A and B are shown apart, each in its own frame.
Chain A
């Protein structure tokens, strides 16, 4: 039948093994069939996808090229897609159809890719379990009683479940890496500024970064090549050349230095993922990588700093949702104040409201210095920690999460417990560094991930390491038994 990696599908399309219309039709059918199981999608665009697929087939027949010509994939539902509903998994945007396109969506379109729909997520990308969606929780294809992680949980579940070979995600404090780890796929958070944020609905502007999710690192390299690059319309987009990521994959690992932060490895914080992580270290050693003890003295303060900075930014990023120009508007507002307070209270879910309130508090008169400013100072210390470490190593290795996926409902009662899920991912986010999550094992039948972090704009280094690891391991080839493969 159809292959499930980007590389193999593009090869199949090029060889004429199948058409884009055929594989798109099949994936739409699977997505529909598995919607009750995984709830991975918020919107499926059958008509648009099939039209795009036929157009891609036509283009291929007439000899036109396109990096992703005819490739079916899905967008996380925070990338604005012109003419296709974009909800951010919120009641606030339940019926919002953007009259414009995000830069990421435009780049996929230009590359000839076929978007089959918009994936479910934590509302406004706030969450680590994908339980905070107005459209219901997403379920992990490995075991549907477990969370897929968040906030890009729909994208991770759609890839893991065989509904699409690839999907876009966004990562603010771990929202690509953690669900990738929980669902046993590969995910890359690029350097802050590497991928345009224009048209990607903001959660926390100084942290948000779009990135690709797929089964293999090889696929991530192809996808990042399409997504990355300067966008003049995003002031924080970096003027930095985009290398040929695929070409870098074949470089050997021998002689590369990888740091193991003693604050994680010596403090016994690797936790349940330890066997998988140790095995991965051995694999990389056997490939010639050298492991070095490093120190990141301030990373314990990352989660507290993150849960001030991200809510502070979100509290004002979400002020534009006021019921006036778009989005949910309450019935019969009695005055302006009522229009605002009721539209927002009705439109936003609980976690979003919590973060808005925390962020508002942290920025308010008398508390700014103790919370927001303090967090920004700690952010600098963390950035300096990494800068110091990268003087000695090419990459840093750690778990992605303290354990494998948890049960749906297990952590919803305690927001702080949920926040601690992000302990390994947020330090990297605060520093704005590129970071890769790849499958590295199974724990109680659920996937466990490995996180590799490199210096700014060294995505190639990460993917080189990841690809070489995948050439010698088969964790990335494992598929859940409940997955959407045809019987």
Chain B
């Protein structure tokens, strides 16, 4: 049977506020256990929540960015369940009146088309602490530093049809939240975590199949692999005439498979109700419009502008606009070099290669964008050949410094003095008299191929410092003249 895959994602994004959503404790990652858990975060008796205005602003900023309906009244609810990482015995969340209602974003498919994915809602809630399972005399240790960190839970419509689409959606979401500056988006530190709802249905059937939820997947690659392995598992069961159990599953990257999390499944009845410690939050149109007017240029708009303003291909524009840091870097390079295409090639080529090798994000790039721009300028004014430029790039990457100083210090200047080039060529021609004879005897078609030999010899004799275009021109003149 032909199966259609149905995927919806619930993405938890930690908001980059300085303090927690309902307390004045810091949100910094990696502090010693429980040193950033204040009396409110620990749910000490009598403690009360007070809502952080920046978390609200960030949620609204996200809502504006995905063209969503922003609710003028949002209500915090208590989601009740007991767990050691949840000190109050309930999580403060938003059920019926989330801050952000229906919106959408567009993803680019492999065939070059775009697909619009609906976003059902994005609601504010508090993060839980962490259970550490190292053995403390047979017990678990609880660190509540993370408890109360603001989260925006972004829920997509079940409109994704493959693991690839799911990853594109997630990347797009990542790019939007980092563009907006509302999250660092660092998946390795849990700043962005993804729950994947996966089901299959016979192609053409309208009704959804039974879904499973894969909890807490923490990298783009794992999202793709987890969904793929879950699709495979479900397909095997369905093909054998079996049925899918609705359940929560966990992805094990080592085994590349999902497994059931039975322990969390027992009779959940969250008894949501409006939190009486918090009043409904009211925002007006002026508040929303003020935030909307201050939105930065977002990835889609930037991509279009890059293509139009810099004459880049859609693909290049898309790659460069994918992250705000990379786009900003590219634009700084461009500003100095005045050559968008060469700048794009260097950012996506050499720079990307080195970043990749160093496992570095562009925000941690040791090479300032101005220097890369200057390097490109030196290629354009023929000071450097592209081969020499790569050498300078390596030195800049490793030791820092200024492009011109390096060129000067290492004597890497390209020889463009025509008398110097002529002298080298004269020597090359003198040493290869028989080849010169053959060249002169040959017709135009053959000459075209034979000239490469003389260029190569000349470049070798100049130790690579001669300007190749110049060498070519002088050679032709001397051989034919």
Residues of chain A at the chain B interface (Cβ within 8 Å):
78, 80, 86, 88, 93, 96, 98-100, 102, 197-202, 204-206, 232-236, 312-313, 315-316, 319-322, 324-326, 336, 340, 360, 363-365, 368, 372
B39:A100 contact, CB within 8 angstroms = yes
Cα-based distance from A103 to B275 in the complex (angstroms):
21
B-side interface mostly: loop
Cα-based distance from A372 to B273 in the complex (angstroms):
9
Cα-based distance from A324 to B49 in the complex (angstroms):
20
Per-position 1/0 for B259-291, Cβ under 8 A of A = 000000000010101011111000000000000
B47 near A: Cβ within 8 Å?
yes
Q: Please judge, given known A-B contacts A198-B47, A235-B277, A325-B87, whether A363 and B271 are in contact too, CB under 8 Å.
A: yes
B368 near A: Cβ within 8 Å?
no
Q: Report 8 cross-chain contacts, Cβ distance below 8 Å, ordered by A residue.
A: A200-B46, A233-B48, A236-B278, A316-B90, A320-B45, A320-B89, A363-B80, A372-B273
A86:B273 contact, CB within 8 angstroms = no
Q: Please judge, given known A-B contacts A235-B277, A322-B89, A324-B84, whether A202 and B46 are in contact too, CB under 8 Å.
A: yes
Give chain B interface residues in 334-349, CB to chain A under 8 Å: none
B82:A340 contact, CB within 8 angstroms = yes
Q: Please judge, given known A-B contacts A96-B45, A360-B271, whether A235 and B50 are in contact too, CB under 8 Å.
A: yes
Q: Shortest Cβ distance from A168 into chain B, in angstroms?
A: 13
Residues of A within 8 A of B88 (CB): 319-320
Contact of A102 among B46, B269, B279 (CB under 8 A): B46
B250 near A: Cβ within 8 Å?
no
Per-position 1/0 for B15-53, Cβ under 8 A of A = 000000000000000000000000100111111111100
What would 9 more interface pairs be, CB under 8 Å, given A199-B47, A200-B46, A202-B46?
A: A80-B46, A86-B45, A199-B46, A202-B277, A205-B275, A235-B50, A235-B278, A316-B273, A320-B45
Residues of A within 8 A of B39 (CB): 99-100
- Count residues of B near A (Cβ-Cβ below 8 Å): 28
Residues of B within 8 A of A363 (CB): 80, 271, 273
Q: Shortest Cβ distance from A344 into chain B, in angstroms?
A: 10
Per-position 1/0 for B75-96, Cβ under 8 A of A = 0001010101001111000000
Q: Shortest Cβ distance from A63 into chain B, in angstroms?
A: 35
Residues of A within 8 A of B412 (CB): none
Residues of B within 8 A of A198 (CB): 46-48
B474 near A: Cβ within 8 Å?
no
Residues of A within 8 A of B42 (CB): 325
Per-position 1/0 for B47-64, Cβ under 8 A of A = 111110000000000000
- Which of chain A's residues has its CB closest to B142's CB? A324
Cα-based distance from A61 to B45 in the complex (angstroms):
38
A320:B43 contact, CB within 8 angstroms = yes
A236:B279 contact, CB within 8 angstroms = yes
A325:B50 contact, CB within 8 angstroms = no
Cα-based distance from A322 to B83 in the complex (angstroms):
9
Cα-based distance from A474 to B445 in the complex (angstroms):
127
Residues of B within 8 A of A364 (CB): 269, 271
B48:A232 contact, CB within 8 angstroms = no
- Which of chain B's residues has its CB closest to A365's CB? B269
B43:A232 contact, CB within 8 angstroms = no
Q: Please judge, given known A-B contacts A198-B48, A199-B46, A234-B48, whether A320 and B87 are in contact too, CB under 8 Å.
A: yes
A319:B46 contact, CB within 8 angstroms = no
Cα-based distance from A100 to B48 in the complex (angstroms):
13
Q: Please judge, given known A-B contacts A80-B45, A235-B279, whether A336 and B84 are in contact too, CB under 8 Å.
A: yes
B277:A236 contact, CB within 8 angstroms = yes
A316:B46 contact, CB within 8 angstroms = no
Contact of A98 among B45, B49, B50, B90 (CB under 8 A): B45
Give chain B interface residues in 217-261, CB to chain A under 8 Å: none
Q: Shortest Cβ distance from A39 into chain B, in angstroms?
A: 23
Residues of B within 8 A of A86 (CB): 45
- Which of chain A's residues has its CB closest to B266's CB? A337
Residues of B within 8 A of A321 (CB): 45
Q: Please judge, given known A-B contacts A102-B46, A199-B46, whether A319 and B89 are in contact too, CB under 8 Å.
A: yes
Residues of B within 8 A of A80 (CB): 45-46
Q: Shortest Cβ distance from B36 into chain A, in angstroms?
A: 15
Cα-based distance from A325 to B44 in the complex (angstroms):
8
Residues of B within 8 A of A236 (CB): 48, 276-279
Q: Shortest Cβ distance from B87 into chain A, in angstroms?
A: 6
Q: Please judge, given known A-B contacts A319-B80, A320-B89, A322-B82, whether A312 and B46 are in contact too, CB under 8 Å.
A: no
A312:B43 contact, CB within 8 angstroms = no
Residues of B within 8 A of A205 (CB): 275-277
Residues of A within 8 A of B269 (CB): 364-365
Q: Shortest Cβ distance from B80 into chain A, in angstroms?
A: 5
Q: Please judge, given known A-B contacts A316-B89, A319-B88, whether A201 and B46 are in contact too, CB under 8 Å.
A: yes
A316:B278 contact, CB within 8 angstroms = no
Cα-based distance from A271 to B47 in the complex (angstroms):
41
Residues of A within 8 A of B277 (CB): 202, 205, 235-236
Cα-based distance from A80 to B46 in the complex (angstroms):
7
- Which of chain A's residues has its CB closest to B90's CB? A316
Q: Shortest Cβ distance from B39 into chain A, in angstroms?
A: 6
Residues of A within 8 A of B89 (CB): 316, 319-320, 322
A319:B82 contact, CB within 8 angstroms = yes
- Which of chain A's residues has its CB closest to B23's CB? A233
B48:A316 contact, CB within 8 angstroms = no
Residues of A within 8 A of B276 (CB): 204-206, 236, 313
Interface-central residue, A200, A201, A316, by most chain B CB under 10 Å:
A316
Cα-based distance from A474 to B298 in the complex (angstroms):
75
Residues of B within 8 A of A99 (CB): 39
Q: Shortest Cβ distance from B224 into chain A, in angstroms?
A: 34
- Which of chain B's residues has its CB closest to A237's CB? B48
Q: Shortest Cβ distance from A379 into chain B, in angstroms?
A: 11
Residues of B within 8 A of A233 (CB): 48, 50
Contact of A326 among B44, B84, B142, B279 (CB under 8 A): B44
B78:A316 contact, CB within 8 angstroms = yes
Cα-based distance from A324 to B42 in the complex (angstroms):
10
Residues of B within 8 A of A340 (CB): 82
Q: Shortest Cβ distance from B37 into chain A, in angstroms?
A: 9
Residues of A within 8 A of B279 (CB): 235-236
Residues of A within 8 A of B78 (CB): 316
Residues of A within 8 A of B84 (CB): 322, 324, 336
Cα-based distance from A394 to B87 in the complex (angstroms):
45
Q: Please judge, given known A-B contacts A206-B276, A312-B273, whether A100 and B44 are in contact too, CB under 8 Å.
A: yes
Cα-based distance from A312 to B276 in the complex (angstroms):
11
- Which of chain B's residues has its CB closest to A313's CB? B276
Cα-based distance from A12 to B414 in the complex (angstroms):
99
Q: Shortest Cβ distance from A173 into chain B, in angstroms?
A: 14
Cα-based distance from A80 to B39 in the complex (angstroms):
12
Residues of B within 8 A of A313 (CB): 276
Cα-based distance from A204 to B87 in the complex (angstroms):
18
- Which of chain A's residues has its CB closest to B24's CB? A233
Q: Shortest Cβ distance from B147 into chain A, in angstroms?
A: 11
Residues of B within 8 A of A93 (CB): 45
Residues of A within 8 A of B82 (CB): 319, 322, 340
Residues of A within 8 A of B47 (CB): 198-199
A201:B45 contact, CB within 8 angstroms = yes
